Each structure stands twice: as C-alpha cells, then as structure tokens.
Amino acid sequence: MAKKTASAKSPKKKKLTHADMLEQLDKQHIWHPFTQMADWRKDPQIIIESGKGSTLVDTRRKTYLDGTSSLWVNVHGHRKREIDKAITVQLGKVAHSTLLGLSNVPSVQLAEKLLSVAPNGLTKVFYSDSGSTAVEIALKIAFQYWQQKGPGFQNKTGFISLTEAYHGDTIGSVSVGGIDLFHNLYRPLLFKSYKIETPYCYRCKYGLAYPECQMTCLMHAERTIQKYASVSAALIIEPLIQGAAGMLLQPPGYLKRIRQICMDNNVLLIADEVATGFGRTGTLFACEQEKVSPDIMAVAKGLTGGYLPLAATLTTEEIYQAFLGEYRDLKTFFHGHTYTGNPLACAAASANIELFKKEKTLQKLQPKIKLLSKALEVMKKFEHVGEIRQRGFMVGIELVRNRATREPYPLADAIGARVAFEARKRGLIIRPLGNVIVIMPPLSISPAELQKLVNIVIESVKVVTGSGVLAPASPAKTTPHKKK
C-alpha cells in the first residue's frame, strides 16, 4: 500500500487576507479606549482604511455612514480638499516647532482667526492637544488667577460642576466630572468639587415637569453657588447640552441665568465647548444662543475639522493680566505640552474656520437640522423610545424597557451596543452612551445621507427592541415626570 503524502495528511491552511491579518494584529497588540477588550478579542471588528465626505470604508471594502463624525470631530467631511491642501502646504515648510520660547506662523494666524469668531471678551489663546487638556488648563488658570489676584482670594480653590458632567479623562477634568460609570473608580485620586443638579427633565430629581417647574433645579443651583462662592474659583459647564451624559438638554435660559449667578457671586465661568463648538448645536459656539460670554472657554474636537489633535483654552484680558509680572514674581503659568501649537494642526484649524465662512456652513446646516428633527418624529411613538433629545446636530435617543414607567434597560442588556451593532450591519457607524443612541454626523452630510442615516437607526431600534408603535396613551397612563 502506497504511503500517504504529507499534503494528504495535513490540509492546506486557508491563507489570511490582508484584512484578516490586520484584525489579528489589532487584537494582539492594541488596547482600545472605553472598550471591554474581552469582547473585542472574540468578536469580528471593523478596521477603517479610508474615507470620503460622510463615508468611511473598511479593509474589506464595506462602506459606512459616519454617524458620529469619528467621535464628534469631523465637520466638513473626510478628505476635504481645502484642509488637505493646508496641511500639505505646511508640511512643505515645517511639521513642528515648539511654542516654548518660540512661535510659529500657523499658531499666530489661527489665534487671530479663533478670537475673531469667539464670544466677545475672549482675547487670549493657550494651545494644547485634546479636550481633556484644554479643560485641565482652564481649571489651573482659574485656580492660579485667584491665587495671584491679591489678598482675600486665596481661599477660592474649589470648583462647581454639574452632577452628570463629563469634561475629559485626565485627573483634573475627572474631578469636575460626575458620571459614576466613568469616574467612580478613580474617586481616591480626585480633588473634591461641589455639585449642582443636572437639569435632566426626563428624569427630574424633584419629580416636576418643565416648564411648570419654573426651573426648580436652577433655584437649587443658585443656593449651592452662593454657599460655596467664597471657596470656589470657577463653575464649569457644557453649555446647552451635556454630551457624554446622554445628550441632556438644559432648559432655555438656564445657561444665561447660571452666567449671571456666577457674576453676582464672583465665580468664574468656564464654558466647555469641546463637544458643542464648531457648529454642533446650530451656531458656531453653543454660548452664542443665549448671548453668554464666559471667562474661560475650552475648545477641541471640531477645531481642526476632525483632522489632527489640537485644543485651545481661551481667556479674557483680565485673567491674562493677572499672570504678568517680573520674572522673580513667579506669576508665570507653568504649564505646557510638547506639541502645543503644532503647525500642521494649526494650519488645518485655520482652513476649517475659513470653510465655515466660504461655504456658509452654518446657514446650510439649518434646513438639515429641521430635516433631522422631522425624520426622528416617527420614533417618538415607539414602545421602547423614552425621549428624543436634539440640539442642532446633536441627538440622543433614550431607550427604555418600559415607556409608561420610564424604567431603563439593565446595563447587562447592552441595549445601546446591540442597536449600534445592528446599524453597522446596515452600513452606519454609531456609538451609544449606555441606553442612549447618539447621532452626530458631519455638518456637511447631504440631506439624502441624513435621511438614510435616520432610517437605519429606526430599523435597528425596531429589530433590537421589538419596538412597535404605541396606541395613543390614555390620561391614566401619564406620569408626574411627563415632559411637555
């Protein structure tokens, strides 16, 4: 009997594709942010290879709508010619030069452009590289300002923030955060901050309904600010909408009143416009909608149009002046980052700001905001959709286990993640916040793409929750928390 050949004994292994190899290497080497890696390692994953406009393409050539603007950063679309060119031109000059003791052309030009469109009263720009660092800088500036202000102000060392706040992941920014899921583990590392209740109308802590409540939460906020004003350097707030908390909307007039309370009590106001800036709420900055000018403002995410890491902390002239003095006075702001004011990133940011004017981005956005609102209407009758919250191009769809009682889905159900996975199968990238489905596409998305995006979300929610359309609710089924 003839011997079996070696090839007959061991079948030939299937050759891995380029996409398979990349996925294998990713799972072997990369630790992803906000990701349970045990799940990541066992599930099939998407690796993005290219993009154009509002579309992303993975290594298997499947296309997806970018429903989260690549984590809330992309503004004018991927591979935008003007921003590509600005980076390429700058690359032909110099990629990086420090801002410590030197300056560079793009950082100077960007500072002028940024201040020309920022809220009135902001006159100075301090660069960094992420939203977290921009907030960290804002906190340190506010603290040092009072220390250098003169006798009688040295006790102003604390900070006031909202209970559901998210301002980043560095220690200072986490200290003024308030989302237990993200922050509770790190409590021993943090400094204490004073909290005011988030105006979460759908789940009002006081069991009231807006507008009949007359913003009771604001009354409590004022009491807290007054109580801690003498020991507080600043209050920090995400204006109009708290993003990572689940797109929680502040009632009209809330921000303006908070600003006035801070002024009355000699507390600085820090506006965290990292997520809300650069058109996300329908205006260039959210503060504009209530004619608020903060003492300090942090920007990042959309600053470069979604191209390169760059952030900025803007301050008033009065705050800046408190840091001036003789060398021996040690009033210098001893803070900096290696890539502060990076020329490539600053060139991209300048091109981004110019595009807002050239393409009339905000004007063209208004009808798309209305289209988005109208397209979402059908979901308001879904059995497992508790509330849809929208401010401009920032949307949160809160899914609930029981609509009548507003009972949330248990964390273990991972309902938001399941909806996002279903949407991926249909060609849409979205990322949930717990039970809240988030929609935040590039401002440049076309009306047809926007309608397609919403249709995919609708179908995905239906499939995962089994949502049917409810019959009109009888008066007996209403709850004391019902929002107008």
Render pLDDT for 68-97 as a digit per residue (tens, 0 to 9): 999 999 999 999 999 999 999 999 999 999
Distance CA 167, CA 133 (A): 10
What is the predicted pLDDT for the residue at 469?
Answer: 64
Distance CA 278, CA 284 (A): 5
Q: Give the chain's radius of gyration (CA, Å).
A: 24
What is the predicted pLDDT for the residue at 15?
Answer: 84
All structural domains of the chain, each given as residue ranges with its CATH number in brackets, are 30-78+361-465 (3.90.1150.10), 83-358 (3.40.640.10)
What is the predicted pLDDT for the residue at 483?
Answer: 37
Nearest to 465 by CA among 379, 404, 389: 379
Render pLDDT for 389-440 as a digit per residue (tens, 0 to 9): 999 999 999 999 999 999 999 999 999 999 999 999 999 999 999 999 999 9
Nearest to 310 by CA among 76, 127, 109: 127
What is the predicted pLDDT for the residue at 8?
Answer: 54
What is the predicted pLDDT for the residue at 484?
Answer: 31
**How far is CA 228 from its chain centroid?**
28
DSSP of 102-168 = ---HHHHHHHHHHHHHSPTTEEEEEEESSHHHHHHHHHHHHHHHHHHH-TT-TT--EEEEETT----
Task: Check if the beta carbon of residue 250 is closer than 8 Å to that of residue 259.
Answer: no
What is the predicted pLDDT for the residue at 473?
Answer: 42
pLDDT string in tens for the chain (484-residue length): 445 554 556 666 778 899 999 999 999 999 999 999 999 999 889 999 999 999 999 999 999 999 999 999 999 999 999 999 999 999 999 999 999 999 999 999 999 999 999 999 999 999 999 999 999 999 999 999 999 998 899 999 999 999 999 999 999 999 999 998 888 999 999 999 999 999 999 999 999 999 999 999 999 999 999 999 999 999 999 999 999 999 999 999 999 999 999 999 999 999 999 999 999 999 999 999 999 999 999 999 999 999 999 999 999 999 999 999 999 999 999 999 999 999 999 999 999 999 999 999 999 999 999 999 999 999 999 999 999 999 999 999 999 999 999 999 999 999 999 999 999 999 999 999 999 999 999 999 999 999 999 999 999 999 999 976 654 443 333 333 333 3
What is the predicted pLDDT for the residue at 150?
Answer: 86
